[in-house]
Structure 1
C-alpha cells in the first residue's frame, strides 16, 4: 500500500520526525538541552505519571507569566485537579452532545456556497471557520470576530519553523498575538462578572469548588487555551482525515457505504497524523527511560507522532488502517487527557459525514497542491484544494 503523504509532496517532518526513523527511543539534543522521547511505552509512562513528569515546564522555560495562571496545560497536582474539576462541571459531555444540531447546521451553511462546483478549498470554506464559530458561540464571544482569531493565531506561529522551546533560555517566551487574545478574553470576562449569561465564560466566572471561585486570570487563560487549541485541533483533524481518504480511496469507498466507519477513520487519522505532534514535560526526579538516565529538572519533548508509529505498539504503523485498535496518544492520557477531545471528535464526525453526503468524490487537486504547516510540532494543512467529483 502507498504510505500516507507519498502523493502530496508534503514535508517529511510532518509524517516522521527529526529527518527519519529515530536512531534510539530517547535521545538528548545538546543544542536545545532537550531530551526527545519517541517510543510508545516511554510516552505512555510519561503521560500517566504526572508526579514524576511535570507539565509545569515554565519552571525550566521562561514562559511569560501571563499565560500560566489557569492554564491547565501547565499545571500539576492539587491546583490542576481543582481547576479541572470546575471546568469539567461546565464543559460536560451533555453540553458537548447538545452542540450537535448547531454544528450540523453550521456545516451545511458553510458548504452551501460551494453548491455543485467541481472544486473548493477545504480550510477556508469549512475546516477553519466551523470550529472557530463553535468555540466562539460556546464561550459567548461574537462569532463575527473569527477573522481576528485567525490573525492572532497566524501572528503567534509565524516564523516558528523551528521548535521554539529551549531549556534554560534567556528570554521570556511570548508568542506575538498572545497579548491581544488575552486582552480580548479579559474584556469579556469582566462583562460576565457584572452581567453573567448562559455561556461557558459566565459559567466559569460563577463556578465554585469548596467555596472557591476562579480568579479572572484563571478564567482568561482557560478561555485562551480553549479558543486557540480548540479550533486549531479540529481544523487539522478534518484536513488530515480527508488527506488519508484521498491517499486510500478504498477506504473512502468503504466509509461512503458504511458511515459507522467515520469514527474509526477519524481515530486512525489522529494516530497517523496527530494535530499536535509533541508535548513537553519536566522531570521532577532522576528517571530512567529506555536505558537512559535522565537527571531531575530536565526538559522532555514527548513525540506523540513517533509513539503513534512505534511498531511495537502498532503493526505496519505507517499504513492507514481504521480497522486497527485506536489506542493512539494524540489526545494524551491520564489527568491531562484533552478536555476538548469529545468536541473535536464530534465536529470531525459531523463535518466528514456532511462532506461525504454532499460531494460524489473528494480528491486533492493535482494542479494545486496542499500547503502544509511548517512547524514540526503541528501536523496539518493551511490550504487544501479539493476536487468534488462534480463536472467542471
Structure 2
C-alpha cells in the first residue's frame, strides 16, 4: 500500500528540536537510544574533544567489507593519531592556494551553465547550476571526467537522499538499514575510484589525485585504498554542500526579499550572507559521536559507550549565542556557526564551498534583475532529518 504520510519539512525538524530543547541543552532520548546535544557551547565542547567523543562508530555498527574499504581513507570517521597523519597528507595536496586559484574557473563554468539556459526564463536552478557547477569543478580538480557526473548524481541521491529517517526509530536500527541499502552504491564507487586512482598512479598529472599519490609524511604515502575514501568524500560531500548552500541561499532570499535587495545593492555583503545561510539552513543538521568514557556535557553526565548526536542545526539557533536566532540577518555581526563542524574534523572542503557559493550567487545577481521561486511548480525538499537541501528549485528569472 502506498504511504500517504506527509513528507517532513525543515520547519518540522526545527520545531522538534525546540521541543527537545525545552527539556534542556543535552537530552536523553529513550526511543532513539542516544543523547541529543542541542546547545552551541555544548556541541562545540563535544566536537573539540575527540578523546572523549570518538568519530569511529564501527564498534556499534560493524562495517561490511565494501564500507571498510571506503573508510580506510575517510578521516571523517577516524580519531587521532591516525586522523592527524592522514589529514596531514591530504592537506599537502588540498591547500588554500589550490582553492583560491579555482575562482576564475568557477566563474567561467557558472556563466557557461547559465548561458546554456538560452533565453529561458523558467529554470530549475539545481539542475541548471547548483548541482553541475561544484561537480565539474571538483571532478576537474581531481582529474576525474566531469562527463561522468550523471553517475556521481546517482551516487549522491542513493547516499544523501534517503527518505526513511524517523525520529521515533532507534538510531542504530536506522544506521544498519541505511548501510544495507547503500552497499551496492559503495561497491560501485569503490570499483570506479580504484580504477581511476590506479590509472593516475601510472600516468601522473597536475591534479589533486596525483598530489595525493605523491604526498608524504614521515616517509609514509597513501595507499590506493586510502585515497578512495578521501576522493569519494570530496567528490560527493564536497559538491553536495555547495549544491545545498546555493539552493538554500535562494530560498532564504525568497523568504526575505529585503535581504536580497541589500545584497543586490552591496555585493560586499555576500560573504557574510553565505555564512548566515549556512547558519540558518545548516546543510548537514547533525553529527554522531560515541563516548569513550563517562563524561560531562554541560551540566549533564553521559556514560561511556553512549551515542551522542551533536545537532549543528540546533546549535546554530541557540539564543545564548545568536541574537534573534530564528531571523535571517545578512548584517549579523557575530556568527560563530557550526555548519562546517568544529575542531579536528572541521570540513576540509569549507573554503571551496564558500568560494563557489560566493562566485555563483554574485554572477546570478549581475545577470538577473529579478530572481524568484516559481509559484506554480513544487519545490522538492530533501528529508531535513538527513540534510537541509532541495532536489528541485524552479525559478523565474528576469535578465538585466
User: More deviation in 68-77 or 265-274?
Assistant: 68-77
How many correspondences in the alignment? 383
Q: Pick the aligned partner of 1:379 from 376, 388, 393.
A: 388
What does 1:278-357 align with in structure 2 at a 5 Å threshold? Answer: 278-324=286-332, 325-357=334-366
Superimposed CA distance per residue, residues 214-237 of structure 1 (whole angstroms, 9 cap, x where no aligned partner): 112210111111111011000000
| Structure that is richer in helix per residue | 2
User: More deviation in 200-209 or 53-62?
Assistant: 53-62
Q: CA separation in 2, counterparts of 1:19 and 1:147?
A: 38
The residue number in structure 2 matching 1:3 is none
Q: CA separation in 2, counterparts of 1:165 and 1:211?
A: 44
Please state how far the C-alpha of 1:277 moved relative to its aligned partner.
Answer: 0.6
State whether structure 2 residue 59 is matched by structure 1 residue 59.
Answer: yes
Change (3 A) 1:383 1:20: farther
Q: Which runs of 4+ in 1 moved over 4 A?
A: 14-21, 168-172
The residue number in structure 1 matching 2:12 is 13
Q: CA separation in 2, counterparts of 1:318 and 1:171?
A: 34
Tell whether the 8 Å contact from 2:10 to 2:384 is kept in structure 1 after alignment. Answer: no
Q: CA separation in 1, counterparts of 2:170 and 2:138?
A: 27
Q: CA separation in 2, counterparts of 1:154 and 1:118?
A: 27
The residue number in structure 2 matching 1:242 is 250
Change (3 A) 1:263 1:173: same
Tell whether the 8 Å contact from 2:13 to 2:385 is kept in structure 1 after alignment. Answer: yes
Q: Pick the aligned partner of 1:93 from 82, 96, 103.
A: 96
Please state how far the C-alpha of 1:254 moved relative to its aligned partner.
Answer: 1.0
3-state secondary structure, aligned to 2:287: strand
Change (3 A) 1:264 1:172: closer
Q: CA separation in 1, counterparts of 2:9 and 2:374?
A: 14
Uncovered stretches (5+) of structure 2, i.e. residues with no partner: 1-7
3-state secondary structure, aligned to 1:177: helix
Superimposed CA distance per residue, residues 189-238 of structure 1 (whole angstroms, 9 cap, x where no aligned partner): 11122221111111111111111111122101111111110110000001
Q: CA separation in 1, counterparts of 2:204 and 2:310?
A: 40
State whether structure 2 residue 95 is matched by structure 1 residue 103.
Answer: no
User: More deviation in 151-160 or 356-365?
Assistant: 151-160
Change (3 A) 1:357 1:15: farther
Q: CA separation in 2, counterparts of 1:122 and 1:171?
A: 32
Tell whether the 8 Å contact from 1:62 to 1:171 is kept in structure 2 after alignment. Answer: no
Q: CA separation in 1, counterparts of 2:270 and 2:143?
A: 30
Q: CA separation in 1, counterparts of 2:339 and 2:161?
A: 24
Q: CA separation in 1, counterparts of 2:377 and 2:41?
A: 40
Q: Pick the aligned partner of 1:118 from 121, 142, 158.
A: 121
User: More deviation in 18-27 or 360-369?
Assistant: 18-27
The residue number in structure 2 matching 1:173 is 179
Please state how far the C-alpha of 1:25 moved relative to its aligned partner.
Answer: 1.4
TM-score normalized with structure 2 length: 0.91
Q: CA separation in 1, counterparts of 2:311 and 2:124?
A: 30
User: More deviation in 114-123 or 96-105?
Assistant: 114-123
Superimposed CA distance per residue, residues 59-99 of structure 1 (whole angstroms, 9 cap, x where no aligned partner): 22223322321111001111111011111111000000011
Superimposed CA distance per residue, residues 306-362 of structure 1 (whole angstroms, 9 cap, x where no aligned partner): 000011110100000122112100001111111100000000001000111111111
Q: CA separation in 2, counterparts of 1:362 and 1:100?
A: 23
Please state how far the C-alpha of 1:51 moved relative to its aligned partner.
Answer: 1.4
The residue number in structure 1 matching 2:21 is 22
Please state how far the C-alpha of 1:19 moved relative to its aligned partner.
Answer: 7.5
Tell whether the 8 Å contact from 1:274 to 1:379 is kept in structure 2 after alignment. Answer: yes
